[in-house]
Chain A
Amino acid sequence: MSALGDLRRIKGSTRGSPQKRDNRTALAFLLPWFAGLGLITIGPIVASLVLGFTDYNLIQPPKFNGVDNFTRMLSDERLHQALGVTFTYVMVSVPLQLACALALAMLLDRGLRGLAFYRSAFYLPSLLGSSVAIAVLWRQIFGAEGLVNQLLALVGIEGRGWISDPSTALSTLIVLNVWTFGAPMIIFLAGLRQIPIMYYEAAAVDGASKWIMFWRVTLPLLSPIIFFNLVLQIIHAFQSFTQAFVVSGGSGGPSDSTLFYTLYLYHRGFNSFDMGYASALAWLLLMIIAALTAVNFWAAKYWVFYDD
């Protein structure tokens, strides 16, 4: 490691070295990407920060109103409802999704025949899960005359309109998110492949059961991967929009039971001519996600084990 660092330092100090020229070429090729980053990502982010401190109805120019938007959040009952719905969704669906992903990754890791096929089959929902088509399909499956109720009818149970009943609507979205466990599963699978076989052999020699091996060998060595998946899936789940938008017909209903944070933000901005407040809401979401991610990184010190 240090020898490589020395080498880099030596190379870096040579003016006009081939590496420097390479860097310049690379920068030239990256320019379009940087332009896009500036125009499409950073520009609007800065604009939304400014708009967060204004009253802006989209039609007339924004008017500065100080921190009014932020104090308004304290008494905004629908915002509190949206936070409740979103936290429930994240806290329930992410652990379930990761558990499913890990369980299937371990099954597939046993050197199954046709592994490539199963891997693709289980990964497919991840590609489709946040698409409009799947959300529409979900409406059909969980509708009053949908597949779930037809199956329940076979065993003599009378179903209900799962999506149109406020007590079950959010659960159907959680099931949808859990079903898209393919992406973390692929990462788990790669992680499992990296655990040296010798640890298991040593454990077997010491007479450890499969269960002990899982708890004492697999989980600790896989913890960095679990951590990675956890952080990414939490961020991803907080930003869910399409599923709730399509499944609830854009309303976050019935009776606000699927009012995701992003959906509420969208309604304020684009349906209620309230873009200043919506921009402030976007920044609150950013802060919530940043804070949760920071807590995650802090907590990681106590449970994530790095082998290197």
Chain B
Amino acid sequence: MRIFRTRRASGAVALALASALVLPACGSGGSNSDLELSDKPVTLRFTWWGSDARHERTQQVIDLFQKEHQNITVKGEFKDWNGYWESLATTVAANDAPDVIQMDELYLASYAERGALFDLATASKHLKTADFDPNALATGQVDGKQYAVPVGLTVYSMVVNTDLLAQYGAQLPDDSSWTWDDLKTIGDQISKASGGKVTGVQSWGFDAGGVNIWARQAGASLYDDTGNVVIPQDVLAGYWSYLADLAKTGIAPQPSVTIERASAGLDQSGTATNSSVFGTWWNTQLTSLTKASGQNLKLLKLPGEAQAKSPGAYYKPSMFWSVSSRSKYPAEAALFVDFLANSEAAANVLLTDRGVPANNKIRAMIASQLTETDKAAVAYLDSIKVGPAPRVTPNGASSIEAILKRHTEAVLFGRSTPDEAAAAFIKELQVEIDRA
């Protein structure tokens, strides 16, 4: 009956304990400055995140590239957004980073400032950027170096379901002048008319876009040029008060529903399931949303823009192409990025899957092939008045959306007041930046 009898037993316990430890890895530098193309066989690894549809399109583009460059093989490694960043961090740590990396604005500075990315300007012989708008191109620069080439552009927008709007007898608001209070009024009207079955607004507060817009409309910004958190506490508190009001008054769903939908992804959102009439989205998500919803959706300018101290809207690069600083084949990697960014053949396959192309020539070239909703997204992007883009997310702040989400949850459930949440958020984000 005695199970822990001997030294062996303590050994077993020690082993069970040992499994509590994680496995870390070390890596050290090593790069190649030869920027001539090799005529020997070269294998590039290329990683991206996205949906199945994107994987198929990307693989087609890889095939086209390989046909043109017989000695280069491109191996695709694709993942879901969530697993992508953990995996990228560990492969970089293990000195085994993929050569070509699909990069996001949140992480760009975190990788670039730590020396993990290759300065693409040094490979300008293979990678042309002449067809890009200089402002767009600048979004891929950190400390004056071109660590990334923007792929597509997006703008924050308010998506409205016009079918539901008509069903509940509400007028389409005039988006050239509407205010945040107008959104509350019309949202309330819909929630009441539907008896709560459909809510007027889908709550937001989980992405960096919403808070950026709010700060910019108040004449402030999330970060200053040196990368410190400078959003005033009362502005941020105002943001969370607004969201808390929406939930409390029934204009947005009750908090637990909001949180469940927010973590379930686009297909189960209030907009996609036709259970909320207004929702904030990036303009290029219109196509996926329309497909999921099956009803008529329209992009509206954000409320408050007409009264704002400075335009809230800005072009956000949907993603970037970048090359690992430890790539053995930077020339070939740059050549492949050139193909992704400038080739018409590639653009014909990719279309707007990665955002409205930031390459002006490509954007004009594919315009005629787009679906109705993609055309609407491009027209919206072209029609909107934008201010200068906010500073790139500073090194260390890549977890801002996780921090935002946590504080939004705390506010919605009444665990913190908007003011407490604002103070805690600012402090926490600044600590993360200082530590990096």
Contact = CB atoms under 8 A, between A and B. Distances in A.
Q: A and B: partners?
A: yes
Nearest to A229: B3
B24 A56 contact: yes
Contacts, number: 157
Contacts of B23: 40, 44, 48
Interface string B394-436: 0010110010011001100101000000000000000010011
Interface string A223-243: 011011001100100110000
Contact of B4 (A41, A228, A235): A228
Interface size range on B against A: 35 or more
A235 B257 contact: no
Contact of B21 (A44, A144, A224, A231): A44
Given A59-B116, A161-B256, A272-B432, A41 B86 contact: no
Contacts of B415: 166, 255
- Name which of B18, B22, B85, B255 has the most chain A CB atoms within 10 A of its CB: B22
Contacts of A225: 1, 3
Contacts of A299: none
Interface stretch (B49-57, B87-95, B187-195): B87-95
B1 A57 contact: no
Nearest to A286: B20
A56 B28 CA distance: 13
A289 B16 CA distance: 10
Interface string B254-297: 01111110010000000000000000000000000000000000
Contact of B257 (A40, A44, A161, A262): A161
Interface size range on A against B: 35 or more
Interface stretch (B107-115, B133-141, B369-377): B107-115
Contacts of A144: 256-257, 260
A191 interface: yes
Contacts of B90: 58, 270
A115 B288 CA distance: 53
Contact of A161 (B17, B19, B260, B402): B260
A57 B114 contact: yes
A113 to B, nearest CB: 28
Interface of A: 40-41, 44-45, 47-48, 51, 56-62, 143-144, 160-161, 163-167, 191, 194, 221, 224-225, 227-228, 231-232, 235, 238-239, 248-251, 253-256, 262, 265-267, 269-275, 278-279, 282-283, 285-286, 289-290, 293, 297, 306-308
22 contacts: A44-B24, A59-B111, A59-B116, A60-B115, A164-B259, A164-B260, A225-B1, A225-B3, A231-B4, A239-B19, A254-B413, A255-B410, A270-B89, A271-B89, A271-B399, A272-B399, A282-B20, A282-B22, A283-B21, A286-B17, A289-B17, A306-B1
Interface of B: 1-4, 13, 16-26, 28, 82, 85-86, 89-90, 92-93, 110-111, 114-116, 255-260, 263, 396, 398-399, 402, 405-406, 409-410, 413, 415, 432, 435-436
Given A165-B256, A228-B4, 6 more contacts: A59-B115, A221-B1, A248-B263, A254-B409, A267-B402, A293-B13
